[in-house]
Amino acid sequence: MTDVTTEMVRSLRTRTGAGLMDCKRALVEAKGDMSGAADWLRLKGRSRAEKRAARSAKEGVVALALQADGGAAALLELNSETDFVARNGLFADLASSLAERALGMGGQIEALTRESAETIDDLAAQLGEKIHLRRAVCLEGKGAFLASYLHGKVAERCGRIGVLVALRAPDGAGDGLETLGRHIAMHIAASKPLAIGVEDLPAALVKKERALLEEEARQSGKPEKILGKIVEGRLEKFYAESALLKQEFVVNPDETVAEALAKASEAFGGEVSVAAFARLGVGEDEDEEEKA
């Protein structure tokens, strides 16, 4: 039987990140051969992956990647089973590198998933948890100013919620536009709008909401002749909660986001508007984060 020293175990652990007992067993199985032991650990990790696949992974991070010239940005959600792993430096590094790849690939999640499958599996084996690449989104400026915001940061470019906002504004808006963009991004993180304006809300969603409100109104026992007004009033409330421009601005609740943009337009000497936005939150339902 090959003698396995403490130094050999430590060296293999440094190389693979596996547990001490696994490293010792791998060296025994490989008769002291370091490369063979590393291969043994990798194969063992693959067999465990099948068991991890059935487990739930709802923790994780949203990683942000920014193009150097500010012309595009990407958000990517990478999930883990526990918050402990989500805060691991190796996990955050992987999320950040995948976000960079997503930026280069225009947010094509299926292609990115295929490309990164082995890397993700290797880290899952090392950390002992299921790791799942859930989604990514890329936003291009196309002449607009891109602002970003991460809420609940766990690493340099990783947080619990990520937001991108594209603002159109007159030339020379300067630092004021950067501040406004950040404030609107913070607002989106907190308020979760589904679209920019009422007209941008999905028609199917509005139809469903109207049908529900009509049913609620009929069951209220109110006179038939006022049911229409009741429905329209409640539908306006739905719009105010769902459309970014109609929401109360979290930075100043006395005005809506539309009113804040109107003030900025006057201050900057030209129209300031939201061209697009994207929001990802760890573990949140996809239908809550519509890309405008």
| Fold match, 6-53 / 59-197+243-288 | no
Residue 148 near residue 163 (C-beta atoms within 8 A): yes
- The answer to whether the predicted template modeling score (pTM) of the entire model surpasses 0.85 is no
Q: Of 52, 50, 109, which is closest to residue 85 (Cα–Cα)?
A: 52
Measured between alpha carbons, how far is 284 from 236 in angstroms, rounded to an integer? 25
3-state secondary structure of 109: helix
| pLDDT band at 48; cut points 50, 70, 90 | low
46-75 burial, b at 16+ Cβ within 10 Å, e below that, comes to: eeebeebeeeebebbbbbbbbbeeeebbbb
**Taking Cα atoms as reference points, which of 195, 163, 184 lies closest to residue 249?**
184
| Residue reference for tokens 């955050």 | 92
Q: Identify the bridge partners of residue 76 per DSSP, sorted by sequence position.
A: 63, 136
Instruction: Give the tens place of pLDDT for each residue, 80-97.
Output: 999 999 999 999 999 999
Which CATH code fits 6-53? 1.10.8.10
Give the single-character DSSP code of 288: G
Taking domain 59-197+243-288, whether its CATH number is 3.30.479.20 is answered by yes
The encoded tokens of residue 271 equal 């129209």
Short-list 194, 164, 163, CA closest to 290: 194
Per residue in 229-277, pLDDT (tens digit) is 888 889 999 999 999 999 999 999 999 999 999 999 999 999 999 999 9
Closest CA to 62 of 83, 89, 92: 92
Q: What are phi and psi of 128, to 5 degrees?
A: 75, 25
The three-state secondary structure class of 69 is coil
The CA distance from 5 to 46, in Å, is 26
Whole-number average pLDDT of the chain = 88
Domains in the chain: boundaries? 6-53, 59-197+243-288, 202-241
What residues form DSSP beta bridges with 135?
77
